[in-house]
Structure 1
Amino acid sequence: MTDGESFLAYKNLLLFLVTAGVVVPLFMRLRISPVLGFLTAGVILGPFGLGALAQDVPWLSAISIADAEQIAGPAEFGVAFLLFMMGLELSWERLMRMHKLIFGLGLAQVVASSIILGLVAFALGQTPLSALILGSSLALSSTALVLPSLAERKKLNSAVGRTAFAVLLFQDIAVAPLLISVALLDVRNGAVGMGALYTIIPAIASLGGLVILGRLVLRPLFKLVAATSSNELFLAACLLIVVGTGLVSVASGLSMSLGAFVAGLLLAETEYRRQVEVAIQPFQGLLLGLFFVAVGARLDLTQLLDYPLPVIGSVFAIIAIKSLVLLPIALSFGLSQHLAREIALVLSPAGEFTLVLIGTAMVAGIVPASAGATAMLATTLSMFAIPLLVRVSERLSSRGASEEASLAALAPAVTDRAERVIIAGFGRVGDLVGQMLTRHKAPYLTVDNNAALVARERSRGAMIYYGDATQVELLRRCGIASARALVVTMDKPAAVEAVVAAARAERPDLVIVARARDPEHAAKLYDIGVTDAVPETMEASLQLSEALLVNIGVPAGSAIASIHEKRDEFRRLLQRPDKSGKERMGIRLSSRKWRTGRP
C-alpha cells in the first residue's frame, strides 16, 4: 500500500469515528434517530456533498469522501453482523415457529409487490425484462435500517418487530436467486446465458456445507477458545465466524448476510450464544453506522436537483404501492388492522439490496442507465424516510393484546425471556440452589464462565450459558429486565460485588441474593444494594449450633427458632447504615457485638 492509499484509508476511518463520536450524540440529544445522523453525515461528507466542492477547494478533500466505494466493502459487513445477531436470536426451532410468516407472508409480499411495481415500470416505457428486474428489486425492503429503527423504539420484540423480521428474512433469502437471475440474463455478454445456471449448484452446496460444518465445528471451537479464559481469543473467534461464513457465502454466489445469518442460527443452539452476542454487539453498531454513511454518500444531490419531480414522484410511488399491496396481504393472513397498517408502512421503502440488484442489472445491460440511476436515487431517498415512517406508524397504530393474539397463530411468542430466576455461578452452591428451585417448580437460567462445567451441564439439559456475569450486557441478554430474582453464588468476592452492582443499577426493584465470604463481605454487599447476603462463615456456625443443640437434647422446634432469631439479628446488624468499619461488620468473634448481635 502506497503512502497515499494508506493516508486515504486512515482519513476515511477518522471521518467515520468523528461522525460516530460527534454527529450521532448530537442527533440523540435532539431526539432524532442516530440512523438519520449517519445518513446525513454520509450526504454531507460524500462525493456529492463536500467531496464535490473539493475540486475547487482542495483542503476540503481532507474532510470528505471522494468515492463512496472506498467504504462500501467494510460497510457491507454491517448488514452481515446484523443478520448474524438476528440468527443468534432465532435458532432453528424458532425459525420453524415463524415459517408461516416467513414463507407465507414474506413470499406473498415479494411476489405481489414485484408484479405491481414491474407493471408500473412497464407502463412507463421499460422493456419487459427491465420492468421485471426493477419490480423485483424495488419489492425488497431495508433490513439494515428497519430493524435498528424498530430496536430504537423498543419494538423489535413486539408483534410488529417479529412480523417485520420474518418478511425481511424471506427477502434476504430471495436476494440469492434474484442475483442469479440477473447473471442468467446478462445482455451485455450475449443472450440469456443458460450456462450460468451452474452457479446454483455450488451456491446450494455451499449453504449445505456451512450448515453441516457449523454443526460439527462451532461448539468444539468455542469450547476450546472459552477454556483459555481469554476475552481477546473469544472475540477473535466470533469475528472469524461472522467474516468467514460471510465470505464463503459471497464466493458461492450468495449474499454475505445470508451466510452470517446461517452461522448465527447454528450458534443460537449452543451454550456460547449469550457471550457471543455481547462480544459482537459493539462491532455490529459501528459497522452498521458505516453502512448508513455509505448509503448517504451515494445520494446524488445534483440529479435530485436536475430531475426533482421524477425522483420525488418515484419515492412516493414506491412507498404508496408497497404499502397498499402489503396491507391487504397482511389482513388476509389474519393480522389485526393496526398491526397490518403498521407493518405496511414500515416495510414500504426500498432497501440496500435494491441498490445491489439494480446496479448489477445496469452493468449487465438489462436496465437502462437513466432508469437505473433514477431508481437507485429514489431507493436511497426512500431509505431516508424509514425512521420517520416507523414513528408515524407507531402513532397511527395502537398497541395491545389484540396484536399479539392475531400473531400467535402465525408465530407463537418465544418464552426464552420469561420471568426466570437467574443464577450467576453454577458450582456446588449454585447447583444446590437450582435443585431447590426445580423442586418448587421455579424456572431458572444459569450463567457460568467455566467452559467445561457449562458443557457438562448443558448435556444434562440445564438451561445454562457460558459468559461473564459481571458484564451488564450479558445480564440484559439473559433477561434481567423480566427476571424474578438474581442469585449470585460465585466464589470470588470481587466478582460477586461486580455482579450485584451491575444488576442493581439495571433493576432497582430486583430481588438479589448473594453468597458472601464473611460478615465483612456481607456488609459491603448490603452497601452495594443486595437484598440478602449469606456469609459462609456465619451460616456454618449457625448450622453447627443447630445440630449441637438438637443432639444435646434441646427440642428441635426451639433450636430451629433460636437459630432463625440469631440469623435475623446478624442480618439487622450487617444492614445498619449508621455503623461503620468493624463496628458494623462484626469481624471479631470475641466482641460483645458478635456474641449478642447487639451494638
Structure 2
Amino acid sequence: MHNFDFLGALSLIGAIAVAIILIFQRLRIPPVIGLIFTGIILGPSGIGVVYDKELISVLAELGVVLLLFTIGLEFSLDDLKRLKRIVLVGGIVQILVTGLAISCLSFWFMLMIGRAITVSAAVFLGFAFSVSSTAICLKILSDRDELTLPHGRIALGILIFQDIAVVPLMIGIDLLNPQAAIPFGMLFKKISLIILFSAGIFFSFRFLMPKLVRVIASLHAREVLVIGGLVICFGAAYLTSLAGLSLALGSFIAGMVIASTDESHQISVSIDPFREAFTSIFFISVGLLLDVSVINLPLFVAIALVVLLVKGILVAGVSLFLGNSPRVSMMAGMALAQIGEFSFVLAETALKNHVIDHELFQSMLAIIVVTMIVTPAMISLAPKFADQVAPALGFIPLVSKENPSHGVRPPDSTIICAGEIHASIVGFGVNGQNVAAVLHATNISYSILEIDRETVKNMRKKGEPIYYGDCTDKKALLRAGVDHARAVVIGVSDAAAVRKSIAVIREINQKAYIIVRARTLDDVAALYRAGADVVVTEKFETSIQIFSLLLNHFTVAPELILEQQEIIRRECEKIFSGSMPVPAVK
C-alpha cells in the first residue's frame, strides 16, 4: 500500500497556517509573516512535527517558479528594454560592491571574535549575501501594487540580474574550492557552452512560445488552458535549469515572452490558484529552515540586522548612482536588503566543495532566514521611513542635475500673467500625457514633473516642458514652477508619495487647485485629509462611465444621465469629505 503520510503533514501545515493568518489579520500583520511564523512553529526551532522537508522544498520551488511566471505575464519585452540600464549597470554594480563590502566585513568580524575564516570563505559569504530574495520581494511588491513604481522597477531590474548571475556565482564556488584546480581552458569551454545554450533557449522561447499559446487557447477548453499554462511554465523553467540558470529565471522569461499575446491574461487567471497555494508553501518552508538554539539566536539576529543595514545602504547608493531620488533609492534599498533563497543553494554547494564548514553553513541559514522574516515589515515601513529621512539627504548630488534654464511652457501657449504657469502636471504616465495633450491643444500653458529619467529624456526631445524630480521633493516641485501654478494635477500611483506631495505643494502654494488620481476608494479619505481639492478614483469613475453608456443605450435623455452622474459623485464626496476640512480655493 502507498505511503500517504505526507498528506497528514500538509493538512497540519494548512490548518495551522489558516489559524495563524486569521490571528495575524486581526493584528493587521501581513499574511506572509504569518506563513513564515507557521514554519517556525512546526519546524525544528518550534515543536518539530514536520519531518519531510524534501517534499516541502520541492513544493516551495514550484511556488517560486509559478510566482515568477505570473509576474512575467505582467511585463513585456519592451518593459524589459526600459529596464536594461538598471539590469546591466545597476545589477553588476550592486553585486560587485555588496559582495566586496560584505566579504571584507565578514573576514574582519570573524577575526575579531576569534573564529578566523579563510579569504575564500569570506569572499563566498560576501557574494552569497549580495543576492536578494526574488520570491519575497516580488510577491510583496506585487501585492502592494508597487512593481510599476520607480522603486519597484529598480528592485525588479536588479533581481533579474541577480538571477542571471547564478551561473558565475556557482562557477565561482568551484574556483574557491581549496581541493580542486579547474584548468582555464575547461572553465572557458563551460562558460561558452552555457552562454550558447542560454541564447538558444531564449530565442526558441521568443519565436515558438507565442504560437504554442495561441494553439492552446484556440481549443477553447479550460482544462487544456490550465495544463498548457503549467506545461509552458514548468517546461521553460526546466530548460533554463539545463543551462545552469535558475528555474525562476526561466519561468519569468517565458511569462514575459508570451505577455504580448492576447491569451496571456487567460493563462494568468487559470494558474493563479496553483501559484497562491505553492507560493504559500514557499514562505512556510522559510520558517522550517530556522534551526538554531535560543542561546545563539541573539547573535544571529544582530548579524542579520547589520547585513540588512549594510546591504540596504549599498543598494540605495547604487540607485542614487543611477540618478534616482533619495526617497526612491531608500525604498529600493529596504526592499532588497534581505538575503535571497538562492543563497541556500550557494551555501549547500560551498559546503560540498569545502569552502565553508558545517558550523558556518548553519549560521548562514539562520542569518538568511532572519533577514527574510523582517522583509515584509521593512517594505511596508519603507514609504514612511523614506518620507522622514529623505529630506535630510538633500545634500547628496544626483547624477545629471536638472538645467534650471529649461523652458517652462510651449512657445505658442497663452501666458495668463507674467511669470505664472497655468497648470503643473506631476507624473507623466498615460493620464499625465492625456492632460498635457488637451492643455496644449487648448493653448493653456503647463509644466511637467516626472521621476522616470528615460521619459524625461524622450519627452524633452519632443519639446515638452518637463523636469526630472521626485514629487515629494520641495526643490523639484519649485524647479517645475508648482509654487505659482493655478492648478496641479497629480497622476502618480504611489499613494504615500501623493500624500506627501500634496502636503509639500500646500506648503509652497496654498492657492493651487489640486486634482489627484486615486486607484481605489480606500485612498480617497486620506488624500482629502492631505489637502486635495478633488480626488478622481479610477474604479469609481469607471462605474460611472459604465452606467452612463448603459443609460445612453436605453435612450435616456443626456440631461438625466448628467444629473445621475452628479448625484453619484456628490454622494461619494459626502462619504469621504463631508466631515473633513477641504482646503478652499482662493
Residue in structure 2 matched with residue 510 of structure 1 by the alignment: 542
1:20–1:289 contact (8 Å) kept in structure 2: no
Q: Deviations over 1:487-523 (max 9, x none)?
A: xxxxxxxxxxxxxxxxxx9934325677xxxxxxxxx
Kept in 2: contact 1:511–1:531 (CA 8 A) = no
In structure 2, what is the equivalent of residue 72 of structure 1? 57
Rounded to whole Å, the distance in 2 between the matches of 1:181 and 1:334 is 31
Runs of 4+ with deviation above 6 angstroms: 406-409, 416-420, 480-483, 569-573
3-state SS, counterpart of residue 50 of structure 1: coil
Shift of 1:332: 2.5
For the structure 1 residues 253 and 184, does the alpha-carbon distance in structure 2 shift closer, same or farther, using more than 3 Å as the test?
farther
In structure 1, the residue matched to 2:25 is 28
Contact 2:289 2:365 in 1 (8 A): no
Q: Which runs of 5+ in 1 are unaligned?
A: 52-63, 421-479, 484-504, 515-528, 539-566, 577-599
Residue 418 of structure 1: how far off its partner (Å): 8.9
The one of 550, 553, 556 equivalent to 1:532 is 550
Paired residue for 2:37? 40
Query: What does 1:422-433 align with in structure 2 at a 5 Å threshold?
Result: none
Counterpart check, 1:82 vs 2:81? no
| Structure 1 residues 314 and 224, CA gap change in structure 2 (3 angstroms) | same
Q: Percent identity?
A: 26
Per the alignment, residue 91 of structure 1 pairs with: 76
Tell me by how many angstroms 1:347 deviates.
1.5
Residues 220-270 of structure 1 show CA distances to partners (whole Å, capped at 9, x for unaligned) of 222222122111211111111111111122222111011111111211222
2:358 counterpart residue number: 369
The answer to whether the Cα contact below 8 Å between 1:175 and 1:255 also exists between their aligned partners in 2 is yes
**What's the CA shift string for 1:427-481, capped at 9, x where partnerless?**
xxxxxxxxxxxxxxxxxxxxxxxxxxxxxxxxxxxxxxxxxxxxxxxxxxxxx99
3-state SS, counterpart of residue 268 of structure 1: helix
For residue 118 of structure 1, report the CA deviation from its aligned partner.
0.7
Q: Deviations over 1:99-128 (max 9, x none)?
A: 111212222111101001111222222212
Q: 1:569 to 1:171 in 2, by over 3 A?
A: closer
**Secondary structure class of the residue paired with 2:75:** helix
Change (3 A) 1:298 1:197: farther
| 1:7 equivalent in structure 2 | 5
Kept after mapping to 1: 8 A contact 2:91/2:158: yes
For the 8 Å contact 1:183–1:193, the answer to whether it is kept is no
Q: TM-score, normalised by structure 2?
A: 0.66
- Give the length in aligned residue pairs: 428
Residue identity in the other structure for 1:278 = V
Distance in 2, matches of 1:531 and 1:42, equals 51
Between the aligned partners of 2:255 and 2:64, the Cα distance in structure 1 is 13
Distance 1:257 1:42 in 2: 22
Give the Cα–Cα distance (whole angstroms) in 2 for the partners of residues 70 and 30 of structure 1.
Answer: 31
Name the structure 1 match of 2:218. 227
Aligned twin of 1:191: 181
Q: Determine the C-alpha separation between the residues in 1 that align with 2:267 and 2:432.
A: 21
Question: Measured at CA, do residues 266 and 360 of structure 1 come closer, stay the same or move farther in structure 2, by a change above 3 Å?
Answer: same
Query: Residue 145 of structure 1 is aligned with which of 136, 139, 144?
Result: 136
Matched letter for residue 321 of structure 1: V
Q: Is the 8 A contact 1:185 1:192 kept in 2?
A: no
Mapped to 2, the partners of 1:418 and 1:281 lie a distance apart of: 32
Choose which of 205, 224, 239 in structure 2 pairs with 1:214: 205
* 3-state SS, counterpart of residue 507 of structure 1: helix
When structure 1 is superposed on structure 2, of 238-247 and 83-92 the one drifting more is: 83-92
Q: Which residue of 1 aligns with 2:334?
A: 345
Q: 1:239 to 1:530 in 2, by over 3 A?
A: farther
Q: Which amino acid aligns with 1:7?
A: D
> Deviation at 1:382?
1.0
Tell which deviates more after alignment, 336-345 or 131-140: 336-345
Using a 3 Å threshold, how does the CA distance of structure 1 residues 116 and 21 change in structure 2: closer, same or farther? same
Return closer, same or farther for 1:319/1:569 CA change in 2, 3 Å cut-off. closer
1:554 is matched with none
1:127 aligns with 2:159: no
Give the Cα separation in 1 of the matches to 2:345 and 2:237: 16
* Structure-2 separation of matches of 1:121 and 1:337: 28
Checking the alignment, whether the CA contact within 8 Å between 2:322 and 2:399 is kept in structure 1 is no
Three-state SS of the structure 1 residue aligned to 2:262 is coil
Distance 1:46 1:219, change over 3 A: same
Task: Map 1:325-336; keep pairs closer than 5 Å.
Answer: 325-336=314-325
TM-superposed deviation, 1:23: 2.8
The CA deviation string for residues 552-596 of structure 1, in whole angstroms up to 9 with x for no partner, is: xxxxxxxxxxxxxxx4479989x99xxxxxxxxxxxxxxxxxxxx
Distance 2:144 2:545 in 1: 33
Counterpart CA distance in 2 for 1:534 and 1:156 is 38
Does the 8 Å CA contact 1:46/1:67 hold for their aligned counterparts? no
Q: Is the 8 A contact 1:47 1:67 kept in 2?
A: no
Larger mean Cα displacement after TM superposition, 391-400 or 308-317: 391-400
Does the 8 Å CA contact 1:47/1:68 hold for their aligned counterparts? no
Distance in 2, matches of 1:91 and 1:377, equals 37
Q: Distance in 1 between matches of 2:369 and 2:557?
A: 68
Residue type of the alignment partner of 2:372: M
Cα contact 2:519–2:538 (8 A) shared by 1: no
Q: Distance in 2 between matches of 1:417 and 1:169?
A: 29
SS of 2:368's equivalent in the other structure is: helix
Task: Mark the CA change 1:251 to 1:511 in structure 2 (over 3 Å): closer, same or farther.
Answer: same
1:151-203, Cα deviation, whole Å (9 max, x unpaired): 34332322221111112221111122212322444456x33466465443443
Q: TM-score, structure 1 length as denominator?
A: 0.64
AA aligned to 1:285 is E
Looking at structure 1, the residues matched to 310 and 237 of structure 2 have their Cα atoms a distance apart, in angstroms, of 33
Q: Which residue of 2 aligns with 1:460?
A: none
* Cα distance, 1:380 vs structure 2: 0.7
1:355 paired residue number: 344
Q: Residue 107 of structure 1 is aligned with which of 92, 97, 103? A: 92
